[in-house]
């Protein structure tokens, strides 16, 4: 039998756990993030991958990480996750768009799932993984998923976990920090095991609040006694990160299949980044042997990651901006901790110190050696004006509609090509349907005077007339649906809200 892959905390505490235990816990006991003891290597050739479906690819990648799941269990999770919930058979289509500025680019559309953002790629499978993991570990408690969302995770997690037996889910979102369509999607969520709460604060406040609740051992004990335990649906959960590795492998295989690259030829990937989960999955794919050259990390004006890659110092002490790409309005990118851990050659003590400095002073530095090990990453950012201009240009020249997050990536890729002169094939990760951010998209395509006074749903219809892109089912569904949630709290009330909802 193959040796099982174990997981440990980036901060060194808590010992080794299996994949299923890591998925159940979400966050390690010492506050660190679970990481595999080593990154496994792809054991199927890319040529063979080129003949596989999305589901087959996902299985091939996940089996290498989730070694305590049986083949049957894992395949069943994959089949249940990537089914007709996705509105295209390919699950994640790769669309080529010719572009006069950068030559042709490929957009990997990850928004064909039930909530029309890329979070569906992982959150449609996480509930199945968690249910199997709970059985495997004889969990008798009810699992309480606590989630902080910058807008997209919340709905994707609610949709994935609604009515799943033995699990309930509570989502905190920044009350004034999400798009109206994002908010409506969450507030109309059905399922007696769901709860949605707006927080008077930004995403970082929500995420910090959730982390503090996880960290509160007293509360953990009280919960345990009452028959509950917490887990997380945020990308700090390894059960979210690993399914995301799959689509990078899938995308490369499509380029190979279409003859756009030769086997082994390296490509760039461009990722609109917030919490650093998506791009970290690309890095894992690279470390598994996928021929990726540069990982282009695209930020909006909350450019803490851009500054980090340029200067080697992470500093969240700065002004926070609400932008047209709200899912990237983040100053503390949680998954960066996993990269810091790897770049420091698994220095657990050093990682713990840096994370402590981050929570106490709001900043930390990395060594020159670590910067050298992170040279695979290129940081760039786009301003709000550039995002608007990019949406307009790509639509007018190419009749392809970008959502604002993808437009950030598109613009940063342009800067990257200008700066480096690279001519390699590139994949731009398209993280959301333009219909999720219709007002921003219509402001870009027309102007603010043309959209003023119109409801978001009127703009949905206008975008459809203008672009010919069909309106996704996810938007039609919420048009007339009644709100089912209306709770709002201050950030210092989050814990009380959780306790009340769980234990009454
Ligand atoms: C979550 C999200 C991002 C950021 O992804 P991370 O994994 O948090 O870096 C980008 N775009 C959209 C549309 C998202 O929902």
State the SS3 of 255-277: HHHCCCCCCCCCEEEEEECCCCH
| CA 236 / ligand 1 centre spacing (Å) | 13
Q: Which residue, among 283, 279, 305, has the nearest Cα to 292 in the 3D structure? A: 283
Pocket flag, ligand 1, residue 234 (CB < 6 Å): no
Tell me the CA–centroid distance for residue 414 and ligand 1, in Å: 20
For residues 271 and 431, give the distance between their C-alpha atoms in angstroms, rounded to a whole number.
9
CB atoms under 10 Å from CB of 213, counted, come to: 22
**What is the 113 CA–ligand 1 centroid distance (Å)?**
15
Of all protein residues, the one whose alpha carbon is nearest to atom 1 of ligand 1 is 327
Cβ atoms 406, 430 nearer than 8 A: yes
Give the H or E element holding residue 208.
helix 203-215
CA distance 99 to 371: 33
| Stated pTM of the model | 0.95
152 lines ligand 1 (CB under 6 A): yes
What pairing do the DSSP bridges indicate for beta strands 94-97 and 292-299?
A: unpaired
3-state secondary structure 454-473: CCHHHHHHHHHHHHCCCCCH
Distance CA 274, CA 333 (A): 6
pLDDT tens, position by position, 351-405: 999 999 999 999 999 999 999 999 999 999 999 999 999 999 999 999 999 999 9
Residue 368: partners with Cβ closer than 8 Å, 6 or more residues away: 312
Confirm whether 136 is a catalytic residue: no
Name the residue with the closest Cα to ligand 1, atom 8: 275
Ligand 1 pocket mutation pick from 110, 113, 118 by most atoms within 8 angstroms of CB: 118
Q: Is 275 in the pocket of ligand 1 (CB under 6 A)?
A: yes
**Would you say the CB of residue 327 lies under 6 angstroms from ligand 1?**
yes
- Find the catalytic residue in 63, 119, 184, 491: 119
Q: CB burial class (10 A; 0-12, 13-18, 19+) of residue 253?
A: buried
Strand partners, 87: none
Cβ of residue 117 lying under 6 Å from some atom of ligand 1: yes
> Shortest CA distance to 275 belongs to which of 377, 176, 207?
207
Task: Report the atom number in ligand 1 closest to the C-alpha of 273.
Answer: 9
For the chain, 504 residues long, give each residue's pLDDT as a single digit of tens. Answer: 467 899 999 999 989 999 999 999 998 989 999 999 999 999 999 999 999 999 999 999 999 999 999 999 999 999 999 999 999 999 999 999 988 778 889 999 999 999 999 999 999 999 999 999 999 999 999 999 999 998 899 999 999 999 999 999 999 999 998 888 999 999 999 999 999 999 999 998 999 999 899 889 899 999 999 999 999 898 889 999 999 999 999 999 999 999 999 999 999 999 999 999 999 999 999 999 999 999 999 999 999 999 999 999 999 999 999 999 999 999 999 999 999 999 999 999 999 999 999 999 999 999 999 999 999 999 999 999 999 999 999 999 999 999 999 999 999 999 999 999 998 999 999 999 999 999 999 999 998 899 999 999 999 999 999 999 999 999 999 998 999 999 999 999 999 999 999 988
C-alpha 99/C-alpha 113 separation (Å) is 27
Closest CA to 286 of 328, 240, 252, 313: 252
* 436-475 pLDDT per residue, tens: 999 999 999 998 899 999 999 999 999 999 999 999 999 9
Task: Count CA atoms closer than 13 A to 362's CA, side-chain side.
Answer: 8
Ligand 1 contacts CB of residue 337 (under 6 A)? no
H helix intervals, 34-145: 46-49, 54-65, 71-81, 119-123, 126-136
Closest atom of ligand 1 to 275 CA is: 8
| Nearest atom within ligand 1 for CA of residue 272 | 10
The finding on whether 323 has its CB within 6 A of some atom of ligand 1 is no
User: How far is CA 424 from each of CA 105, 285, 290, rounded to the nearest angstrom?
Assistant: 10, 18, 15
């Amino acid at each position: 039998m193959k040796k099982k892959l174990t997981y440990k905390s980036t901060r060194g505490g808590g010992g080794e756990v299996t994949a299923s235990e890591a998925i159940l816990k979400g966050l390690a006991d010492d506050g660190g993030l679970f990481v595999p003891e080593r990154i496994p290597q792809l054991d199927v050739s890319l040529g063979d991958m080129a003949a596989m479906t999305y589901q087959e690819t996902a299985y091939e990648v996940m089996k290498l990480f989730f070694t305590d799941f049986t083949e049957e269990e894992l395949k069943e999770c994959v089949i249940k996750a990537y089914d007709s919930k996705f509105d295209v058979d390919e699950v994640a289509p790769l669309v080529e768009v010719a572009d006069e500025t950068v030559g042709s680019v490929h957009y990997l559309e990850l928004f064909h799932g039930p909530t029309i953002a890329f979070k569906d790629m992982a959150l449609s499978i996480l509930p199945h993984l968690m249910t199997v993991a709970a059985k495997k570990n004889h969990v008798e408690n009810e699992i309480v998923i606590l989630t902080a969302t910058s807008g997209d995770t919340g709905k994707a997690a609610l949709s994935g976990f609604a009515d799943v037996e033995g699990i309930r889910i509570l989502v905190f979102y920044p009350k004034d920090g999400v798009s109206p369509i994002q908010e409506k999607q969450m507030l109309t969520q059905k399922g007696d095991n769901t709860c949605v709460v707006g927080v008077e604060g930004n995403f970082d406040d929500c995420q910090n609040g959730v982390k503090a609740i996880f960290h509160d051992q007293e509360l953990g004990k009280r919960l345990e006694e009452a028959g509950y335990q917490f887990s997380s649906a945020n990308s700090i959960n390894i059960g979210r990160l690993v399914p995301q590795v799959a689509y990078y492998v899938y995308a490369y295989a499509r380029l190979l299949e279409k003859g756009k690259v030769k086997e082994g030829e390296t490509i760039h990937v461009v990722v609109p980044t917030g919490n650093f989960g998506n791009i970290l999955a690309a890095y894992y794919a690279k470390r598994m042997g996928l021929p990726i050259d540069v990982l282009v990390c695209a930020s909006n004006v909350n450019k803490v990651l851009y500054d980090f890659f340029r200067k080697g110092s992470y500093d969240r002490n700065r002004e926070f901006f609400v932008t047209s790409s709200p899912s990237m309005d983040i100053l503390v990118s949680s998954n960066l901790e996993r990269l810091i851990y790897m770049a420091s050659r698994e220095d657990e003590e050093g990682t713990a110190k840096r994370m402590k400095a981050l929570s106490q002073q709001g900043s930390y530095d990395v060594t020159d050696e670590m910067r050298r090990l992170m040279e695979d990453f290129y940081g760039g950012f786009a301003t709000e004006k550039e995002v608007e201009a990019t949406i307009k240009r790509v639509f007018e020249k190419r009749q392809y509609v970008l959502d604002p997050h993808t437009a950030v990536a598109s613009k940063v890729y342009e800067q990257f090509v200008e700066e480096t002169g690279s001519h390699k094939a590139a994949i731009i990760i398209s993280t959301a349907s333009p219909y999720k951010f219709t007002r921003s998209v219509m402001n870009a395509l027309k102007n603010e005077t043309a959209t003023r006074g119109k409801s978001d749903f009127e703009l949905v219809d206008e975008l459809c007339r203008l672009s010919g892109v069909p309106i996704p089912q996810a938007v039609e569904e919420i048009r007339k649906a009644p709100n089912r949630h209306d709770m709002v709290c201050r950030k210092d009330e989050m814990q009380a809200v959780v306790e009340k909802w769980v234990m009454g």
